[in-house]
């Protein structure tokens, strides 16, 4: 489909109908997927995206709220598929399955199903669903194989642009191969069927639109939508001061080379409505499986800065240039291990955004918890039912304080769209575990004029023996930073107490065998504070203490607020204490990022 076709007679009403109908199709695909999938990570947590793309690999639409870090790596799959098969190699009824890291650049659990759309014999579109399977063989159970897996062959099945259906007929040998090499075929293959159903729904909706408006009108409308989206983004960036801006962050280590810091660096250049995001300063690819091959971080940051609430399409990124050299940790070369590919993406996004704080200070929040490792996975065999089980115990963290309000508590990261924390009821139904408690973590948010969002705390115990994946979030030495005098938030941690032990011990384990009645404690990280804590409204501090977000001791120590026995503010004592604190210590310096 030539998206450069123009129609000067395109009716503006028709254009608006098509502009809204295309994302609606992708969103309807998402609803269909959720209602029919087998895997809690899809139907409850929403770890997926649904999309329409053209044969050039340009994104036509994605479901509203779809996983943000999937948006950058859909088009490359279509471009690769077109190279493999050619325009004539796709036929009606074909279904392609792929997850191969040489192109997809993610962990193998993120399986893509896509189908070609033909109108009057012409290949015009592809319907695509990327969704997280709970298992693809190897060591991929749950969220993925973890940071210590050495290569993709250990991780699981590698499916490289193969047709699971060819012109409507099932490829039975391939189907059996997949079924025989995964632990939970009823779940994963059920999810595959749901992905195909969502794609078929999209093909029907595209038929309705192309029949109603015609091929030329649809092509012209999509081209116009791309152009107008691009211009809207350029208009936003053109209001930014021009210049070059930089920021740095790091991980404590990668989980394999212990104690060796992993550098993350972003250089952002703004000029005449264009933006260049250069990640060349990031670490080279690692032996640990934290590598990725993706443009997700710069695209997410750019979208958040330009039009965060608008539907996304290819025009959303035309004015953005991404510079990530081959061999960079963010553009790793196959077969660099990628099982934990997304762990640091939110921190990279934070670093890009932080670079622009000198340019647009009233738009930049403090750092959020920023690592996708706020949960754990428990799996094994239920000896009573003789069935395998796996459950992903997800729990969020806090976002950074903003120039106008506190950060959100216990949420998912900036990279996860409308992904949700797992429901307690679902987790307890899926596996022999009990969620003893889940709450926000008092005093965890970075103090500031606008407080950082609180992290979460979840306490779990397993009723049967099994294995835990509880890998440590790796930013104790680079916690979520504060801005404008705000203090850093707290990084996450994970703890375990086995039967007979008196205290919880911090852990960093993968596929760790445990007996029944083992207890696990998961601390989600929090957000940094924005602005000087001594400038926080005293009534906000009082309310935080009433709600048990902040302790009385922290209210006094960090905010200089003195509360009476009834938790009302003692105005005179507070004014005196704040004056003393201001004299006795300098304002908290902004964290170096």
What digits encode the pLDDT tens for the residues 20-44? 999 999 999 999 999 999 998 999 8
Q: What is the mean pLDDT of residues 106-112?
A: 97
pLDDT band at 352 (very low <50, low <70, confident <90, very high): very high
pLDDT band at 5 (very low <50, low <70, confident <90, very high): very low
pLDDT at 8: 55
Q: In this structure, how many other beta carbons lie within 10 angstroms of the beta carbon of residue 539?
A: 11
The residue ranking higher by pLDDT, 287 or 392, is: 287
pLDDT > 60? residue 1: no
Backbone angles phi, psi at 387, to 5 degrees: -120, 145
Q: In this structure, how many other beta carbons lie within 10 angstroms of the beta carbon of residue 323?
A: 14
Contact status, residue 276 vs residue 243, Cβ threshold 8 Å: no
Tell me the β-bridge partners of 387.
382
Tell me the β-bridge partners of 284.
328
Q: What angle do CA 304, 320, 398 make, to 5 degrees?
A: 25
Contact status, residue 366 vs residue 461, Cβ threshold 8 Å: no
Q: What is the mean pLDDT of residues 141-150?
A: 86
pLDDT at 593: 47
Residues 523-568: tens digit of each pLDDT = 999 999 999 999 999 999 999 999 999 999 999 999 999 999 999 9
pLDDT > 70? residue 590: no
Least confident of 1-5, 308-312, 458-462, 511-515: 1-5
Encoding tokens for residue 96?
A: 């392609």
392: which residues sit within 8 A by CB, 6+ positions away? Answer: 40, 41, 45, 134, 142, 143, 375, 376, 377, 422
Q: What is the mean pLDDT of residues 373-400?
A: 87
Contact status, residue 309 vs residue 258, Cβ threshold 8 Å: no
Is the preceding peptide bond at 434 cis, omega within 30 degrees of 0? no
Residues 45-98: tens digit of each pLDDT = 899 999 999 999 999 999 998 888 887 889 999 999 999 999 999 999 999 999
% of the chain residues with pLDDT over 70: 97
Least confident of 164-168, 254-258, 374-378: 374-378
Q: What is the mean pLDDT of residues 495-499?
A: 96
pLDDT at 157: 97
% of the chain residues with pLDDT over 90: 87
Task: Quote the mean pLDDT of the chain.
Answer: 94
pLDDT at 588: 45
Residues 324-347: tens digit of each pLDDT = 999 999 999 999 999 999 999 999
pLDDT > 90? residue 108: yes
pLDDT > 80? residue 3: no
pLDDT at 7: 55
377: which residues sit within 8 A by CB, 6+ positions away? Answer: 141, 142, 143, 390, 391, 392, 393, 468, 469
Q: Where are the domains of the chain?
A: 12-230, 365-593
Q: What is the mean pLDDT of residues 194-211?
A: 98
pLDDT at 375: 86
pLDDT > 70? residue 249: yes
d(CA 190, CA 134): 11
């Amino acid at each position: 489909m030539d998206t450069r076709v123009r129609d000067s007679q395109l009716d503006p009403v028709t254009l608006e109908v098509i502009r809204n109908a295309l994302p609606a199709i992708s969103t309807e695909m998402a609803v269909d997927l959720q209602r029919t999938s087998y895997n809690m990570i899809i139907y409850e947590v929403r770890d997926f995206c649904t999309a329409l793309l053209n044969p050039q690999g340009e994104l036509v639409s994605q479901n509203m709220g779809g996983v943000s870090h999937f948006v950058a790596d859909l088009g490359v799959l279509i471009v690769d598929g077109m190279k493999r098969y050619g325009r004539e190699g796709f036929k009606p009824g074909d279904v392609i399955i792929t997850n191969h890291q040489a192109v997809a650049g993610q962990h193998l659990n993120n399986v893509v199903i896509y189908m070609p759309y033909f109108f009057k014999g012409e290949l015009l579109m592809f319907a695509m669903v990327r969704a997280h399977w709970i298992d693809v063989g190897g060591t991929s159970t749950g969220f993925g194989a973890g940071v210590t897996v050495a290569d993709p062959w250990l991780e699981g099945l590698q499916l490289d642009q193969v047709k699971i259906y060819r012109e409507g007929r099932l490829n039975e040998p391939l189907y059996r191969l997949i079924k025989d090499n995964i632990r939970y075929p009823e779940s994963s293959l059920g999810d595959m069927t749901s992905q195909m159903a969502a794609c078929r729904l999209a093909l029907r909706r595209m038929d309705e639109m192309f029949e109603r408006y015609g091929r030329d009108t649809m092509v012209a409308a999509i081209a116009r939508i791309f152009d107008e989206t691009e211009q809207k983004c350029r208009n936003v960036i053109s209001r930014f001061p021009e210049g070059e801006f930089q920021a740095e962050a790091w991980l404590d280590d990668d989980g394999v080379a212990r104690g060796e810091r992993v550098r993350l660096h972003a250089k952002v250049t703004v000029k005449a409505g264009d933006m260049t995001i250069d990640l060349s300063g990031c670490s080279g690819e690692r032996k640990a499986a934290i590598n990725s091959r993706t443009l997700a971080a710069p695209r997410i940051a750019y979208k958040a800065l330009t039009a965060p609430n608008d539907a996304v399409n290819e025009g959303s990124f035309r004015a953005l240039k991404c510079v990530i050299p081959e061999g960079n940790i963010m553009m790793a070369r196959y077969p660099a291990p990628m099982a934990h590919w997304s762990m640091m993406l939110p921190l990279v996004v934070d670093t890009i955004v932080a670079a622009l704080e000198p340019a647009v200070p009233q738009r930049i929040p403090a750092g959020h918890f920023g690592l996708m490792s706020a949960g754990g996975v428990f799996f094994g065999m239920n000896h009573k039912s003789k069935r395998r089980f796996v459950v992903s115990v997800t729990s969020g963290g806090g976002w950074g304080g903003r120039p106008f309000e506190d950060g959100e508590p216990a949420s998912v990261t900036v990279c996860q769209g409308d992904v949700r924390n797992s429901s307690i009821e679902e987790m307890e139904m899926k596996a022999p575990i009990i969620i003893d408690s889940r709450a926000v973590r008092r005093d965890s948010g970075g103090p500031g004029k606008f407080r950082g969002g609180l992290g979460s705390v979840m306490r779990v115990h397993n009723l049967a023996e099994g294995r835990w994946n509880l890998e440590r979030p790796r930013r104790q030495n680079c916690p979520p930073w504060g801005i404008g005098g705000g203090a850093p938030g707290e990084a996450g941690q994970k703890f375990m107490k086995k039967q007979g032990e008196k205290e919880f011990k911090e852990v960093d384990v993968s596929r760790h065998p445990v007996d029944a009645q083992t207890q696990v404690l998961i601390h989600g990280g929090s957000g940094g504070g924005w602005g000087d804590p001594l400038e926080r409204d005293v009534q906000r501090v009082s309310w935080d203490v009433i709600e048990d977000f902040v302790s009385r001791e922290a209210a006094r120590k960090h905010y200089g607020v003195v509360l009476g026995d009834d938790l009302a503010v003692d105005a005179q004592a507070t004014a005196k204490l704040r004056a003393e604190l201001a004299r006795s210590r300098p304002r908290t310096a902004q964290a170096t990022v």
